[in-house]
């Protein structure tokens, strides 16, 4: 066959320009693409050899060889795979010139997105070579009887040539003539690094000639220099092994490798193969210790992703929800949807199914740990509990599973416990689950809000992590019981008979103290929404309560610490009708409604309520002066 020169069509040239200048974020990706193509060619040779014995009759050991020539400025990637005949050469390397190309280019230009079609449909991976090369030549010979070898060559600017050539062995040899500014890819160590990062688990050996120097055989003689092939990839993916055959130290070493936690160990290892509609392999690790950057926005949170043993990314966030960002590991799938550059995932059903399977397996592992190894779960919770609780606010699909996994301190426990344990301790007459939120255990444990609950023997959960305020918005029910805040709305803890008795006492107090309450409302009108008697208090004089759906003091503190703008809401000042201070104030009011001491008491009660909930008072100097005056008078 005479040498043929052909021009690229206009739309093909446009697509080629996209591949060279826009499609890939890293130029080193070219080597991953060419090695992946070589691996596929070997796999195809093995497959066809199962039915056509002539394919493998004269086969040598399969391998992919990379050769560098610094003087000629070339990189050669050679495989002894299936090779191509003329039609296959036009189809596979010329796929970019297929009838669908024009539509593909149009769709990318209209959307401005290079993810319009999947890799493999247009064969653009081969053309990644032009990112680093001024010219690319390909020599190939098909395995089988009496096959002719062909040479394809192009500088990527407008045309390509195909010619008959002689080639002794079957397979494909690609030569890249590097651009002047791409000299870094002529360094052995750079090639080794790229292979280790992207193609370490390709199942065929990737080799390169290495120069070895040995001492001279005789004293004073010249050292012995030899060139031997060095295998660059490990070829053994730990996740492809049967987990029965993997030793604990192997898991530990691999965990340290992918997590960069060189001193740590995994608390749990999850190694499984998913089969069915979507098939993939996964090896996940639950770390023993939280990384220092767990709460940093720029932290790399995703899993490593491989497709057919080829590395795609080490930060695939789409495979794991944010509340499980502490999980380290890899996923290897044969049918993972990728965009045309194999650098981004497509958002489709396959991805969602894989993510769902991973999350389900992780939550199941945590549930088993909680049940069978509670001491290990306590360690996990200390490190990652705050992060896991984020899922209650974001993962509605797994909300019930997460509710069984979260732990809280309470008025009846020395260490955090589950909601299931809380329910098991509930008295028969208790119908709701109660919680109080605050900055720390010491603050909420002494809150006057708890007095009535303690007297009734009702346990109250402590929501002391900042995330708990958002958790509470989603954790509204458990085991058919409502979850209710003790510092919001009105609280009724008594039986029907007790309620009637207390209602009469409250009506009497409302009548007896009406004028005093009206005075307090007037004096504190800029600070509180209302003043009323409380069902919560048994010993303390007062407390501040938010509306049922209002913002409590703890939420306001969190919003301020985050520099968030919000409209502060006035809360209700609740009073203990049996506290001696009210009797004292009633006497003062009876004697002189304009007594300055009455106004001072109103101000002191409000400041006292602020202090007991951990909120700052508006005027500490004024508060100190009033307390000192009272001490002198006493």
Do 496-633 and 238-370 fall under one CATH topology?
Answer: no
Tell me which residue has tokens 């690229």. Answer: 8
345/341 Cα distance (integer angstroms): 10
Which is more confident, 463 or 53? 463
Give the pLDDT score at 115: 35
Q: How far is CA 63 from the centre of its chain?
A: 37
Across-strand partners of 245?
none
> E strands, 351-457, where?
407-410, 417-418, 433-437
- Split at pLDDT 50, 70, 90, the class of 97 is very low
| Percent of the chain predicted with pLDDT > 90 | 51
Mean predicted lDDT score pLDDT of the chain:
86
Q: Which of 432, 317, 326 is nearest to 389 (CA)?
A: 326
Q: Provide the pLDDT for residue 114.
A: 40
- CATH superfamily of this structure's domain 496-633: Heat shock protein 90, C-terminal domain (1.20.120.790)
Residue 300, beta-bridge partner list: none
Q: 561: pLDDT confidence band, cut at 50, 70 and 90? A: confident
Report helix, strand or coil for 549: coil
Residue 179 tokens read as: 């651009």
Nearest to 354 by CA among 316, 325, 384: 316
Distance CA 425, CA 417 (A): 11
CA 366 from centre of chain: 17
> DSSP characters for 279-300?
-EEEEEEEESS--TTTT-TTS-
Q: Which CATH number fits domain 238-370: 3.30.230.80, 3.90.650.10, 2.60.40.10, 3.20.20.150?
A: 3.30.230.80
Per-residue pLDDT tens over the stretch 623-633: 999 889 888 87
**pLDDT band for position 105 (50/70/90)?**
low
Domain boundary assignment for the chain: 4-231, 238-370, 496-633
Q: What gap in Å lies between CA 160 and CA 212, rounded to an integer?
A: 40
**pLDDT tens-place string over residues 269-299:** 999 999 887 889 999 999 999 888 787 766 6
Closest CA to 155 of 139, 171, 172, 177: 177
DSSP 217: S
Percent helix, percent strand, percent coil in the chain, to nearest 5? 40, 20, 35
Q: How confident is the model at residue 118 (pLDDT cuts 50, 70, 90)?
A: very low
Average pLDDT over residues 335-354: 66
Q: Residue 38: how many CB atoms within 10 A of its CB?
A: 28
Q: What is the mean pLDDT of residues 133-155?
A: 92
Between 46-55, 93-102, 166-175, 331-340, the lowest mean confidence (pLDDT) is in 93-102
CB 523 within 8 A of CB 593: no
At the top level of CATH, which class does the domain 4-231 belong to? alpha beta
Residue 21 confidence (pLDDT) above 70: no
Confidence check: pLDDT of 120 > 50: no
Going by their DSSP bridges, the two strands 433-437 and 159-165 should be labelled as unpaired
Token pair 């390909």: residue: 138
d(CA 35, CA 204): 10
Give the residue with greater pLDDT, 559 vs 200: 200
Confidence class of residue 166 from pLDDT cuts 50, 70 and 90?
A: very high
Span of 90-104, 247-261, 314-328 with lowest mean pLDDT: 90-104
> Which of 469, 477, 389 minimizes the C-alpha distance to 431?
477
Tell me the pairing of strands 477-478 and 417-418: unpaired
Q: What are phi and psi of 323, to 5 degrees?
A: -75, -10
Handedness of CA 370, 375, 376, 380 (dihedral sign): positive
Predicted confidence (pLDDT) per residue in 206-260, tens digit: 999 988 877 777 777 777 788 889 999 988 889 988 999 999 999 998 999 888 8
B/e letters for 430-440, b = 16+ CB within 10 Å, e = fewer, are beebbbbbbbe
CB 402 within 8 A of CB 395: yes
| CA pair distance 301, 356, nearest whole angstrom | 17
């Amino acid at each position: 066959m005479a040498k043929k020169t052909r021009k690229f069509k206009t739309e093909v040239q446009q697509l080629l320009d996209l591949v060279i200048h826009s499609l890939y974020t890293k130029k080193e990706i070219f080597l991953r693409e060419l090695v992946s193509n070589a691996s596929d060619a070997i796999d195809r040779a093995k497959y066809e050899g199962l039915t056509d014995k002539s394919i493998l009759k004269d086969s040598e050991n399969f391998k992919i060889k990379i050769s560098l020539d610094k003087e000629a400025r070339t990189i050669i990637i050679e495989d002894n795979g299936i090779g191509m005949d003329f039609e296959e050469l036009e189809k596979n390397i010329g796929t970019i010139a297929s009838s669908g190309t024009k539509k593909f280019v149009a769709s990318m230009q209209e959307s401005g997105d290079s993810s319009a079609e999947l890799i493999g449909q247009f064969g653009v991976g081969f053309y990644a070579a032009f990112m680093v090369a001024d010219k690319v030549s390909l020599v190939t010979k098909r395995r089988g009887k009496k096959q002719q070898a062909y040479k394809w060559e192009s500088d990527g600017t407008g045309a390509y040539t195909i010619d008959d050539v002689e080639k002794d062995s079957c397979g494909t040899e690609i030569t890249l003539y590097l651009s002047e500014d791409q000299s870094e890819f002529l360094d052995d160590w750079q090639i080794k690094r790229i292979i280790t990062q992207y193609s370490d688990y390709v199942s065929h050996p990737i080799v390169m000639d290495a120069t070895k120097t040995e001492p001279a055989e005789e004293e004073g003689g010249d050292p012995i220099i030899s060139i031997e092939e060095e295998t660059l990839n490990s070829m053994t993916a730990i996740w492809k092994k049967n987990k029965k055959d993997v030793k604990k130290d192997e898991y530990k070493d691999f965990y340290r490798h992918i997590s960069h936690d060189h001193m740590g160990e995994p608390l749990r290892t999850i190694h499984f193969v998913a089969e069915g509609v979507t098939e993939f392999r996964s090896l996940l690790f639950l770390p023993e210790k939280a990384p220092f950057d767990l709460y940093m926005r720029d932290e790399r949170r995703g899993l490593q992703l491989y497709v057919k043993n080829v590395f795609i990314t080490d930060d695939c966030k789409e495979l794991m929800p944010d509340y499980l960002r502490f999980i380290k590991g890899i996923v290897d799938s044969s049918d993972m949807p990728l965009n045309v550059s194999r650098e981004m995932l497509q958002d489709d059903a396959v991805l969602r199914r894989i993510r769902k399977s991973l999350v389900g397996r992780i939550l199941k592992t945590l549930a088993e740990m909680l049940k069978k190894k509670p001491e290990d779960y306590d360690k996990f919770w200390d490190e990652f509990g705050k992060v896991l609780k984020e899922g209650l606010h974001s993962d509605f699909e797994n909300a019930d599973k997460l509710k069984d996994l979260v732990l809280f301190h309470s008025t009846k426990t020395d260490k955090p416990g589950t909601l299931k344990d809380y329910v098991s301790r509930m008295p028969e007459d208790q119908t709701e689950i109660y919680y109080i939120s605050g900055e720390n255990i010491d603050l909420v444990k002494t809150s006057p809000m708890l007095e009535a609950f303690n007297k009734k023997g009702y346990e109250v959960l402590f929501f002391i992590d900042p995330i708990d305020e958002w958790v509470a918005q989603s954790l509204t029910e458990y085991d058919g019981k409502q979850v209710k805040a003790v510092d919001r709305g009105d609280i009724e803890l008594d039986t029907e008979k007790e309620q009637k008795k207390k209602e009469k006492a409250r009506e009497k107090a409302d009548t007896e103290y009406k004028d005093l309450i009206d005075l307090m409302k007037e004096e504190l009108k800029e600070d509180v929404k209302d003043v009323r008697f409380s069902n919560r208090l048994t010993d303390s004089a007062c407390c501040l309560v938010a509306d049922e759906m209002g913002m409590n003091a703890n939420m306001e503190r969190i919003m301020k610490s985050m520099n968030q703008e919000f409209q502060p809401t006035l809360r209700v000042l609740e009073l203990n009708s049996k506290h001696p201070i009210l009797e004292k104030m009633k006497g003062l009011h009876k004697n002189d409604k304009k007594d300055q001491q009455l106004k001072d008491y109103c101000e002191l009660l409000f400041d006292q309520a602020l202090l007991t909930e951990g909120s700052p008072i508006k005027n500490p100097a004024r508060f100190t002066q009033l307390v000192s005056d009272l001490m002198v008078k006493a």
